[in-house]
Amino acid sequence: MFQKGNQFGKKNKGLVRSEETKAKVSKANKGRLVGEKNPLYGVRRFGEDNPAYKGGIHYTKQGYVRILNIKHPLCDHHGYVLRSRLVMEKHLGRFLLPEEVIHHINGIKDDDRIENLKLYSCINEHSRYHTNLRYGNV
């Protein structure tokens, strides 16, 4: 069922599935949706069905708030979008471009009131603001 190494002949610390096992898994998954029960692994649960679900809100290490919004055109690979971008998009009535940057005026990264947000057209413009701020030119 399992064998040492991988198909390239390199040594691998873990075990790799044999071709027979891969074929069984592939056959079991044919025509199934992602959330359906898989006889070899059980059920994949998403959103509120997942026991690790925390309400669709995630705080990044930098202090920003991300909201689960899998239908957003600029969501990350987990389906999250920065809340500040969502607030600015609602205020403007359009989606932001990928190069547009949101700045928090008071420096508090989870304060996403529209009065505290400023939109920059690109990262260079935002960096220029911070450079001028550092040298007292603002």
In tens digits, the chain (138 residues) has pLDDT values of: 545 555 555 555 566 788 888 888 777 777 666 555 555 566 666 677 777 788 889 999 999 999 999 899 999 988 899 999 999 999 999 999 999 999 999 999 999 999 999 999 999 999 999 999 999 887
The pLDDT, as a whole number, for residue 95 is 96
Tokens matching residue 73: 């055109």
Beta-strand pair 80-82/101-104: unpaired
Instruction: Say if strands 65-68 and 57-59 run parallel, antiparallel, or are unpaired.
Output: antiparallel
Residue 100 contacts residue 89 (beta carbons within 8 Å): no
pLDDT at 24: 84
SS3 130: helix
Q: Do 11 and 63 fall into the same domain? A: no
Are both 61 and 97 inside the same structural domain? yes
Same domain flag for 81 and 107: yes
* Position 116 in a domain: yes
Contact 136, 129 (CB under 8 A): no
Range of the domain at 109: 57-134
pLDDT for 13: 56
* Residue 123: partners with Cβ closer than 8 Å, 6 or more residues away: 99, 101
pLDDT of 59: 93
- If asked whether residues 34 and 84 sit together in one domain, one would say no
24 domain residue, yes or no: yes
Tokens of 138: 């603002």
Instruction: Based on the fold, state whether residues 39 and 8 are members of the same structural domain.
Output: yes
In a domain, 51, yes or no: no
pLDDT score for 18: 87
Buried b (16+ CB within 10 A) or exposed e, 102-123: bebeeeebeebeeebbebbeee
Residue 95 lies in a domain: yes
Domains identified in the chain, total number: 2
Q: 88 lies in a domain?
A: yes
